[in-house]
Amino acid sequence: MTDAELAPDSAVAVAESNIRPHRTLWLLAAAHAVNHAQAALLPLVYIAVIPEFGISVAAIAFLTAIGNLAAGLFQLTYAGLTRLFSRRTILTVGGVVFGGGMAAQGLAGNFLGFSLANVVSRVGGSPQHPVGNALLSEQFPEHRRGFAISMHIAGGNVGTVLVPLLGAWAIATFGWRWAVVAFGLPAIVIALLLLAIVRESGADRSAARAYGTLRSAVGAVMHTRDLLLIFLSGAAAGGGRGLGVLNAFVPLYLTFVIGLDVTTVALMYTVFLAGSVPGPVVAGWLSDRLGRKRVFHAGNVGAASALVVFVLAGANVPILWLAVLLLGTFSFVASPQQQAMLSDLAPAHLRDAAFSVYFTIAFGIGSLWVAVYGGLIGALGNAAGLPLAFAVMAASYLVASLIVVPIREQRRPAATVAARS
């Protein structure tokens, strides 16, 4: 049976089901904004939690690693769950658990309780990337997927931009416990709105069932060379991902190594995260015209260079500001393009399996990088361990680019793409 027979035409499925792809995109972006807002708030919460619970920076690194690993490994289940339930149902349940777990951190009486709620929340947020991107890939044609996936990620990053100053104010004014409650509740509201408003055709689910068993689908994914290269590249890039890895260490480094005051750290953190909105949008637009790989490589080289400047700047505040600006510009570019490459390479009947495996590896196994950083910081101390961790992150960007070099992508002439857009 051919791919054409297995995968119904996306445009036909959308028309028959009265689906509105852009409505789906904006609601997913809103859910993603809440997801990222919480991820961006946590590093500021950690600064407050460390002295209250009497823990170390290394303990926070290990908690981040455990949360990333749990959320990442759980993403593998969506290859099977999407065959049984609609994607919007999975996203809704995940959003409720995510918001509830975030708010529950405010009730913790010790670091163990805080950690358990933290990990539960991370698992609840796990459908956002694999299930959300697969839904967008079903509803948007190939020549618009770079834009759609980038907008999904950039829309989510709007939440990160609003957090540093607002989050720092909320923590200073109401305390970190009420701050996590305030940031947890909107996730539940957005999740319920998504269930009520988003529609989907189920075309991919039908194609996946027609293809065969879940085991055969995962087997096909794992035996496709280009998909394997994307998976390996994702695992490497996980060593320096902008959100979930790099963003957790930037404010800790500026606070506990450079010794900057809380206000300056919050301002720098805001500038760093501000790049997460325009960067992916511009990169997605370019990748639909120039090709995913070119933009992917440019983002990785730029992010690695920015990290080198960041570490070499030391306590030179003007150079630190430049480095933070460069980090914000480049460190959020590569990940959405890697996901867009995956979307282009995976046929409809393998799409959910491919995204599930990718995010399990990239965010799950790749999160073991954070445990390595925790070990480095614990063994060498903050002053030596954090700069070394940044050096490893820079190397991970370059390795991620090298891995995808053998992949050949089909690029349409820019004029043709522009006309179809």
DSSP 252-298: HHHHHTS---HHHHHHHHHHHHHTTTHHHHHHHHHHHHH-HHHHHHH
In a structure prediction context, what are the per-residue pLDDT tens digits for the chain, which is 421 residues long? Answer: 343 333 444 444 444 456 788 888 888 888 888 887 887 788 888 888 888 888 888 888 888 878 878 887 888 889 888 888 888 899 999 999 999 999 999 888 899 999 999 999 999 998 988 888 888 888 888 778 878 888 888 777 787 777 766 888 888 888 889 998 988 888 898 898 888 888 888 788 888 888 878 888 888 889 899 999 999 998 898 888 876 688 888 998 999 999 999 889 988 988 888 887 788 888 888 888 888 899 999 999 999 999 999 999 999 999 999 999 999 889 888 888 898 899 888 888 888 888 888 888 877 666 678 778 888 888 898 999 999 999 999 999 999 999 999 998 765 444 344 434 3
Q: What backbone phi and psi angles, to 5 degrees, belong to 369?
A: -55, -40
Q: Give the pLDDT confidence score for residue 364 in this predicted structure.
A: 66
Closest C-alpha among 33, 34, 24 to residue 101: 34
Query: Distance between terminal CA atoms of the chain?
Result: 31
Q: What are the residue boundaries of the structural domains of the chain, listed by start?
A: 8-420
- Who contacts 17 (Cβ-Cβ below 8 Å, separation ≥6)? 199, 200, 201
Distances (CA, A) of 223 to 124, 220, 354: 30, 5, 11
Q: How many CA atoms lie within 13 A of 219 on its CB side?
A: 6
Q: Classify burial at 86, counting beta carbons within 10 Å of its beta carbon; exposed 0-12, middle 13-18, buried 19 or more.
A: middle
Closest C-alpha among 421, 27, 328 to residue 193: 27
Four-CA torsion 139, 144, 149, 151, nearest 10 degrees: -110
pTM above the 0.95 mark? Answer: no
Q: What is the token pair recorded at 337?
A: 């393009």
CA distance 389 to 320: 17
CA distance 366 to 351: 21
Q: Classify burial at 84, counting beta carbons within 10 Å of its beta carbon; exposed 0-12, middle 13-18, buried 19 or more.
A: exposed
- Fold of the domain spanning 8-420: Growth Hormone; Chain: A; (1.20.1250)
B/e letters for 167-203, b = 16+ CB within 10 Å, e = fewer, are: bbebbeeeebbebbbbbbebbbebbeebbeebebbbb
CA distance 164 to 389: 23
CA distance 297 to 255: 31
Closest C-alpha among 159, 129, 155 to residue 41: 159
**Inter-residue contact 18 to 139 (CB < 8 Å):** no
Q: What is the token pair recorded at 67?
A: 């949360």
CA distance 395 to 330: 15
Q: What is the token pair recorded at 62?
A: 């290990």
